[in-house]
Amino acid sequence: MKYGYNPIVGEKWRYNGPDSSSPFKISRSKIELFHRCPTCFYKDVKLGLRKPPMPGWAINSAVDSLLKKEVDFCRTEDRAHGIFTENGLPNIKPFKHDDIEKWQNAFTGIQYHDQEHNFLLYGGVDDIMVNENNELVVVDFKATAKAAEILTYKDVYDDGKSYKRQLEIYSWLLQKNDFAVNSTAYLMYYNGDASKPFMGREMHFRRTLVPFELDTSWIDPMIQEMYDCLQLDEAPDYNLDCEDCLYLKTVSEM
């Protein structure tokens, strides 16, 4: 097959029931997939039918990598990153922990073994801060390029709802690991500035800190719904609010 892509993943990557000898891994992105469409979630997780991968975002990845270096430097000096001091939050500093690199890794992340459903839930966070009350503060790095300023969640696409869920899942995972977590999380937003007269050798960014008030109460009930979905013998009907389902249904009827 061209490029070696196979849309059907192997058995070890598919859900095979609650009585497996090892917990089934479910990533933060799979929780988001279920939130958007239980049908697509079932086809992906139980049937092993994966959508073709999206192309990588090289500029965003570069921003993430550089920001992690900046935050790590602040961590060694036990001081707040400049974006927090600029926003009057000098007491929110990078969190020091032996597992911080593991938590940032997309393949390991912050983990929680839900023994009731035999799920190993995990998510790779961009970074974690800590405030003066020893509460953890979840942060995520975002990069874009738009003319408008990004100051609040209202300035983010769809009021930043998917980003808010992302931050909430990281917060929930930390809470499940017995950490005290502050109810406010932040996006460290770097917005490419196209208003300059020329590019030159550097891309200039405007940086802003976008706060989100978190509510993790929806996650435990959703984990139960995910479990119930995976016990079905057949995939749920097409979800016509989902673009992928609508596309597949239209193709099948042509």
The beta-strand segments (E) located in the chain are: 24-27, 93-94, 110-114, 119-123, 127-130, 136-144, 184-192, 205-213
pLDDT of 3? 56
The crossing angle, in degrees rounded to 10, of helices 38-45 and 243-253 is 80
Q: In terms of domains, do 8 and 96 share one?
A: no
Q: In terms of domains, do 98 and 4 share one?
A: no
CA distance 162 to 140: 12
Let me know if residue 167 belongs to a domain. yes
10 Å Cβ neighbour count for 96? Answer: 11
pLDDT of 169? 98
The beta-strand segments (E) located in 32-156 are: 93-94, 110-114, 119-123, 127-130, 136-144
Q: In terms of domains, do 91 and 158 share one?
A: yes
CA distance 225 to 65: 35
Judge whether residue 23 has pLDDT over 70. Answer: yes
State which residues form the domain around 76: 68-216
Domains identified in the chain, total number: 2
Judge whether residue 57 has pLDDT over 90. Answer: no
pLDDT of 151? 94
pLDDT of 18? 84
Let me know if residue 186 belongs to a domain. yes
CA distance 132 to 180: 12
Q: Encode pLDDT of 73-94 as tens digits.
A: 999 999 999 999 999 999 999 9
Q: In terms of domains, do 150 and 231 share one?
A: no
Question: pTM for the complete prediction?
Answer: 0.93
Q: Encode pLDDT of 104-135 as tens digits.
A: 999 999 999 999 999 999 999 999 999 999 99
pLDDT of 153? 95
Mean pLDDT of 194-215: 91
The CA-atom distances, in angstroms, between 55 and each of 12, 121, 138, 206 are: 25, 25, 27, 25
Let me know if residue 236 belongs to a domain. yes
Judge whether residue 21 has pLDDT over 90. Answer: no
Q: Encode pLDDT of 131-182 as tens digits.
A: 999 999 999 999 999 989 999 999 999 999 999 999 999 999 999 999 999 9
Q: In terms of domains, do 144 and 249 share one?
A: no
CB 177 within 8 A of CB 110: yes
Let me know if residue 61 belongs to a domain. no
Q: In terms of domains, do 172 and 95 share one?
A: yes
Q: How confident is the model at residue 1 (pLDDT cuts 50, 70, 90)?
A: very low
CA angle at residue 116 from 45 to 135, to 5 degrees? 95
Q: Name the residue among 95, 90, 54 with its Cα closest to residue 71.
A: 95
Q: What is the mean pLDDT of the chain?
A: 93
Q: In terms of domains, do 243 and 140 share one?
A: no
